[in-house]
Amino acid sequence: MNVLTERAYAKLNLALHVRGKLSDSRHRIETIFVFCEDGDELTAEPAPHSLFELQILGDFASDLGGENLISAVWRDLEIETGLDLGVRFTLDKRLPVASGVGGGSADAAAALRLLTHLWALDARHAEDVAPRLGADVPACLLSQSCRGEGAGDQLEPIDLGLTGTPVLLINPRVPLSTVAVFAAWDGVDRGPLGGWREGRNDLEAPAMTLVPAIADVLVWLRDQPGATFVRMSGSGATCFALFDSTEARNAAANACPAHWWHLASRLR
């Protein structure tokens, strides 16, 4: 039995500038994506023709609804390729849902990578399908540091020299709708994105109006010894800190309040 496993790497935005609207009504952004070594785990194995099965396990399994992007990947790849193939997926859902770390998009990207190998497809099929599944899916398919423009789906790989950097992710255990956060954005273009350290996340302010606990997480992270960079990721509510050492990150992870979810990892 050919059983394959892929990691759905957690996505972080080092900066996210909202510049306006595109002609298709999506928001025009400029962002810097990086990815953690950890995330959800997705396993796939062949199944009879046209059979799709998905078993969801893990800490956040109960937070997922019935319809999800993994089933959309299977359906869209069948249409894209004209094939009639089956698959059994098992998802270990380790990342919080609706949390700004690309969980659903990363799961979809992992499914695209798995089916490309399982069905011996040309990689271009996954690249063609990814933008149709969501603006973050192309970046998650790449899962390496890159600059995103347009809706975040126009990508340019970049080397930030951050591979191996210790990082701590914290979520206040409050799901946050991306649509709601963008709707709460004030519409002000605060300028283009240059260097990521000098950048900002324009969605932090509207996200905090919806989930005030985000401000508490950011303050707590900034107070941790060894934290060199702190920001909210994506549309929230997950925030993160880069650390100058593994020891400092581990100390912060051990001190994290019990009512918050956290993940100690490193950047890819």
pLDDT tens-place string over residues 234-251: 999 999 999 999 999 999
Alpha carbons 148 and 31: distance in angstroms, whole number:
5
Q: Which of 11, 76, 153, 202 does the annotation list as catalytic?
A: 11
172 lies in a domain? yes
Buried b or exposed e, range 119-139, using 16+ CB within 10 angstroms: bebeeebbeebbeebbbbbbb
pLDDT at 148 over 70: yes
**27 and 92 co-located in one domain:** yes
Alpha carbons 135 and 156: distance in angstroms, whole number:
14
161 lies in a domain? no
| Percent of the residues in the chain that have a pLDDT greater than 90, as a whole number | 95
For residue 51, what is the domain's CATH number? 3.30.230.10
**147 and 181 co-located in one domain:** no
Q: Which of 38, 76, 92, 136 does the annotation list as catalytic?
A: 136
Tokens 């970046």 map to which residue?
139
> Can you give the pLDDT at residue 66?
59
Question: Does the active-site annotation cover 21?
Answer: no
**190 and 118 co-located in one domain:** no
Domain encompassing residue 49: 4-156
> Can you give the pLDDT at residue 67?
60
Question: Does the active-site annotation cover 136?
Answer: yes
pLDDT tens-place string over residues 19-49: 999 999 999 999 999 999 999 999 999 999 8
**132 and 254 co-located in one domain:** no
Strands 261-266 and 166-171: antiparallel
Cβ atoms within 10 Å of 34's Cβ, excluding its own: 27
Alpha carbons 98 and 267: distance in angstroms, whole number:
21
**142 and 70 co-located in one domain:** yes
**70 and 142 co-located in one domain:** yes
When pLDDT is cut at 50, 70 and 90, the band that residue 50 belongs to is confident
**42 and 149 co-located in one domain:** yes
**116 and 241 co-located in one domain:** no
Q: Which residues contact 207 (CB under 8 A, 6 or more apart)?
A: 176, 181, 184, 214, 232, 235, 236, 237
Strands 86-92 and 52-57: parallel
> Can you give the pLDDT at residue 27?
97
**42 and 88 co-located in one domain:** yes
When pLDDT is cut at 50, 70 and 90, the band that residue 64 belongs to is confident
pLDDT tens-place string over residues 157-208: 999 999 999 999 999 999 999 999 999 999 999 999 999 999 999 999 999 9
**116 and 187 co-located in one domain:** no
Centroid of chain to Cα 158: 18
**120 and 43 co-located in one domain:** yes
Distance (Å) of CA 30 to CA 71, 171, 183, 261 = 29, 24, 18, 28
| Final residue belonging to a domain, choices 124, 156, 188 | 156
For residue 232, what is the domain's CATH number? 3.30.70.890
When pLDDT is cut at 50, 70 and 90, the band that residue 68 belongs to is confident
pLDDT at 128 over 70: yes
pLDDT tens-place string over residues 84-110: 989 999 999 999 999 999 999 999 999
Alpha carbons 179 and 189: distance in angstroms, whole number:
18
- Mean residue pLDDT of the chain comes to 96
Domain count, the chain: 2
Token representation of residue 82:
């004209």
| Percent of the residues in the chain that have a pLDDT greater than 70, as a whole number | 99
Q: Any bridge partners for residue 136, and if so which? A: none
**198 and 147 co-located in one domain:** no
Give the neighbor-by-neighbor strand order of the sheet with 166-171.
Answer: 227-232, 239-243, 166-171, 261-266
